[in-house]
Structure 1
């Protein structure tokens, strides 16, 4: 198997990926239900194992270079996909999507992400093949993205109220009430859009933004479009199951963004060095290549592995990380209670309030002074107080 992968290999690969997506829909998502921890665990292991097995096949039949490039790309894209789950979590919470119906939203997000990223993959390949300045552009995009990851976070209260959603509500017939996992329903004798369709629009929009970051990143690892596509596809497969497996741990990964920031910064620098090494721009060194050091895939893989492993371990063992995770959970639950536009029934809202109270009680294991300080810094104090007053008014 050479860098120029034959058509039959592409067709078999596409068939396997489409078959897995169809299997996921008909046997897991079509019938709305909340996956058990056992179900989410086993299917997460299956998809990760499948991705690793595919990498071994590439290593055996394509050679060491293809294998190393695939594993580097897969790890990078998987880390970015997990980071994307944070935004999915905020959007799903903002729309108060019923737990049993969240699978359909997530699968749509995965399929749309795969379609969007495939388009960017082939567009990126066309740019690389035809314009010598492409790596300069990709490198700058990644360095800017790395900087943005270090910027103070903005809370996701407007994720459910972005421009597209506001336009849909203004010009289309919408309702604030769910009807199972249906995209349309009948209200007052008229066919209207349900929040299920709106949340899919919100997630689809974020998928496009994610693709703008992830595709330049993986092209820094390899320019083999087959490896770029398969690493991206396998990193997205199983993301739905992973969400239900680690949604309770997502808030614990407080340092993941810092690890990703360093990785994207490193890859951005790597791309610019590659561009300088193959420079053809007339205003840089007279259009001649610049003799600079460059990183190969054998360097990128250990850098990605070390940074991801260290930031995940640091997140899980850090006392500050545990406290911040607990405070974020309280803050998100309080805001979810306050944002009750999409609630199905009053009992759902009451259950959400009780989850907030339980999350508050878990804060008692930490130092009170540190809890108060972090609650103030994150705005959780205000959200909890407002939610408590609203609950008191609602219950008389």
Structure 2
């Protein structure tokens, strides 16, 4: 009995290679099936279809967290749920940009699902590289937590002061501009095809640029989401699975929350608070594990660390208050016929 109790409260995952390969294999199979099915049946998904798929992804994530609780105990399970919720909330912020990209490239509604799916696959691959790089940096340089923490606080301040603009237009990043200038393309969509032959010449369709814009834009968002989740867990496997569950349900959220996004008026402020909180947590951890010679003589600094239970509770409260306050303000504005200044 004692050995079982100890086993259920281990604080580290020591997974064999096959477990990683199995996870990546299952995720790849699900994603490839989605891409194949959507490519064969391009359409605007019904609400029933969206809710069934989203419920399946959320249910799978909850089951994974519960299984982790039974297998490894509350610490790692709490880290997963905290990381998953954080990645999901930051992914919702991505949807604003995704909407702008769809408008920028005038993607027909029946083709949007395919574009999102392939863009998400690209995003998962790129995030996987970031997760590996992050794990390597953390394992070899403890001072990287100072950089992660400072960057998250900087991002939080920038997000809180700049916010989101409803009138903001999507601007191609440098990579997209270079690709569009070098690759010959057609002006019209050809279903889900990325390339076609026209007058004996191989040309790209606008769909190619859409999915590249979606995938590479998500990579820019990963610059804060990956450090954020590493502020909640040091386990690369949990980071990977939390990102998989968050991104695999992003397509459904795009269609379900399209109108609701405009009502989440305090989303930027809420995410700023969330990133600042995790940034402070990272800085405290960096001080606790300090090895830099110019800080406390290279010795660990005795500072309190924020336990995962407090982190998970803070994330739930921040996201809950943000959503409730946003919906309340949107309803009040609609009732009085426009934005009302707080008294």
Same fold flag (TM > 0.5): yes
The equivalent of 1:84 in structure 2 is 94
Structure 2 match to 1:314: 325
**2:44: which partner in 1?**
34
Q: Which piece of structure 1 moves more, 254-263 or 2-11?
A: 2-11
What is the alpha-carbon distance in structure 2 between the residues aligned to residue 268 and residue 213 of structure 1? 10
1:223 to 234, 239, 262: 234
1:198 pairs with one of 209, 231, 234: 209
State the match for 1:11 in structure 2. Answer: 21
Distance (Å, rounded) in 1 between the aligned partners of 2:158 and 2:182: 33
**What is aligned with 2:68?**
58
My pick for the range that moved more, 189-198 or 30-39, is 189-198
Larger radius of gyration: 1
Partner Cα separation in structure 1 for residue 245 and residue 48 of structure 2: 21
The alpha-carbon deviation at position 100 of structure 1 amounts to 0.7
Offset at residue 189 of structure 1 (A): 4.7
Q: Measure how far apart 1:192 and its partner are.
A: 1.7
Asked whether the 8 Å contact 1:252–1:315 carries over to 2, the reply is: yes
Which deviations, in whole Å up to 9, do the C-alpha atoms of 1:241-299 show, x marking residues without a partner? 22112112111111112111001001001100110111110111111111111101111
Offset, 1:187: 4.0
Q: Is the 8 A contact 1:279 1:288 kept in 2?
A: yes
Retained in 1: the 8 A contact 2:42–2:110? yes
Q: For residue 359 of structure 1, what is the aligned residue in structure 2?
A: none
Greater RCO, 1 or 2 (C-alpha within 8 Å, sep 6+): 2
Separation (CA, whole Å) in 2 of partners of 1:128 and 1:263: 22
| Deviating more after overlay: 10-19 vs 93-102 | 10-19
Report the counterpart of residue 165 of structure 1 in structure 2.
Answer: 176
1:48 aligns with 2:73: no
> Does the CA contact (< 8 Å) of 1:252 and 1:322 recur in 2?
no
CA displacement at 1:30 relative to structure 2 = 3.3
Residue segments in structure 1 that go unaligned for 5+ positions in a row: 324-364, 375-396
Are 1:277 and 2:306 matched, yes or no?
Answer: no
Extract unaligned runs of 5+ from structure 2: 1-6
- Per the normalisation by structure 2, the TM-score is 0.90
CA distance in structure 1 between the partners assigned to 2:51 and 2:39 by the alignment:
16
Distance 1:199 1:156 in 2: 18
Alpha-carbon distance between aligned partners in 1 of 2:332 and 2:315, rounded to the nearest angstrom: 21
The reply to whether residue 237 of structure 1 matches residue 216 of structure 2 is no
Cα distance, 1:171 vs. partner? Answer: 2.3
Alignment check: 8 A CA contact 2:119 2:212 kept: no
Deviation string, structure 1 residues 108-155 (Cα, Å, up to 9, x no partner): 121111111111111111111111211001001111111121133455
Out of 152, 160, 179, the position equivalent to 2:190 is 179
User: Is the Cα–Cα contact under 8 Å of residues 120 and 214 in structure 2 kept in the other structure?
Assistant: no
Q: Indicate the structure with greater helix content.
A: 1
For residue 107 of structure 2, give the secondary structure of its aligned residue in structure 1.
coil
- TM norm structure 1: 0.78
